[in-house]
Amino acid sequence: MRVRLKDIAEDLNLSKMTISKVLRGQTDISDETKARVLKRVKELKYIPNISASSLRTGQTKTMGLILPSIGRPYLSEIAAGIHLTVFAEGYGLIVSSSQEDIDNEQRQIEIFLSLQVDALILISLQETGTFFEQMQRSKRMPIIFVDRRPPEAIDSYVGVHDEEVGRLACEHLIQAGCRRIAYLRGARTAAGDLRARGYRQALTEQGLTIQPDLVMESMHPEESEYQRGFETMVRLLNRRGRPDGVMANSDMMAVGAMDAASSHGIRIPEDMRFVGCGDDPLLCGMRIPLTSINIGGRELGMKAGQLALAAINSGNSRRPQRVLLRPKLVKRRSSERQR
C-alpha cells in the first residue's frame, strides 16, 4: 500500500503542512522536527506524488533531454553532466533519442511538451529556428541547446569554441613539423565551417599557404563516420602531393583515415601525423594512440543543466545565454614529431 503524506503526519502527530515544508526544504521548521520527519520518510520509503505536487506548484520537477543518438561516449558525457547538475536540485531527467532524424526530433519534443517537463535540453538537428519559434508561441518553456543550435534560434546555447578546435589541431600539426595539412571536415555544418576557419587562421599565422584541395568533405553522409574517414582519406591519397598531417572532424573519422593510410603503406607518425576530435577514450587508445581535441562533454552538460535551472527559477524571464567552452588538446603518439 502506498504511503501518503497524511500517514506520515498522523504517525508523527504533526500536520501535513509541516511534513510538506520539510520535504520542500523550507527553513521555518526546527532541526529536531526536520530530523524526525526525514528519518520516518526514509523508514517508510515515502515516494512523493509528483502529479499532486505539479498541480500545486505548476512544476513537474522533470527535464527532457533529446540526443541525436544513444551510445556515443561524448553524448553520454553530456547526459551525465546534465544529470549530475539537475539531480542535485531535485529534478529528474528523461532522456530520449531523435535517431539522427529531424521529424523524429520534433515528435520527441511534442511528447515532452505533453509531459509538461519544466525545461527542454537538446542537441538539435533542425536546419532553421522556425519550429522552435512556432512552439514557443503556444507554450513558453526554457530551451537549452547544447553542442549545436539551429540558425536564427534565440534560446540559450552551450557549445564549444569551434574555431579554437580547428586552430588548436592545425597549430599542433605545424609544431610537429607538418607543412601540408589536410582537414577531413565531414558533412557541411556550421561547426565544420568554424573549425575550417580556425584551420585557415593557423596556416595564415604560421605563414603557410592555404590549399583548398586539402579540405575534404564526406561524399556519402549516410555512411558510418569510420567509413567516411577511410574513403575520404583514400580519395586524398589518390591525388598528387599527399599531406604530411591530417586533422579530422571526429575521432572515428580519424581512425578510419589512419587505417586507410596504413593500408597504403604509410607509417604513422613517421610519414603522416593525425589529430582527431572528441577524445574518445576507446578510440584514442587503439593500435596507434590518437592525439585528439577534448571538447568537454561533461562540462558542456553541467553548464547546460545550470542554465536550465536558472531559467526555471526565474520563470523563464532571463535573457538567453550563449556560453562557449574552450577545447583542450590531448597529445598522443599519432602526432609525435620525429627526431
Question: Tens of pLDDT along 150-165?
Answer: 877 888 999 999 999 9
CA nearest to 290, candidates 253, 236, 338: 253
Question: Tens of pLDDT along 128-140?
Answer: 878 887 777 666 7
Helices and strands: H and E segment counts in the chain:
13, 12
pLDDT at 73: 84
Pick the CATH number of 60-161+297-326 from 3.40.50.2300, 3.90.1150.10, 2.40.37.10, 3.20.20.370: 3.40.50.2300
CA nearest to 64, candidates 121, 144, 125: 121
Q: What is the domain partition of the chain in residue ranges? A: 5-48, 60-161+297-326, 162-295+329-335
At 257, phi and psi to the nearest 5? -65, -40
pLDDT at 55: 44
At the second CATH level, the architecture of 162-295+329-335 is 3-Layer(aba) Sandwich (3.40)
The whole-chain average pLDDT of the chain stands at 88
Peptide bond into 151 cis (omega under 30): no
CA nearest to 141, candidates 2, 317, 286: 317
Does 5-48 match 60-161+297-326 in CATH topology?
no
- Record the cell numbers describing residue 288, joined without a space: 596507434
Q: Which fold does the domain 5-48 belong to in CATH?
A: 434 Repressor (Amino-terminal Domain) (1.10.260)
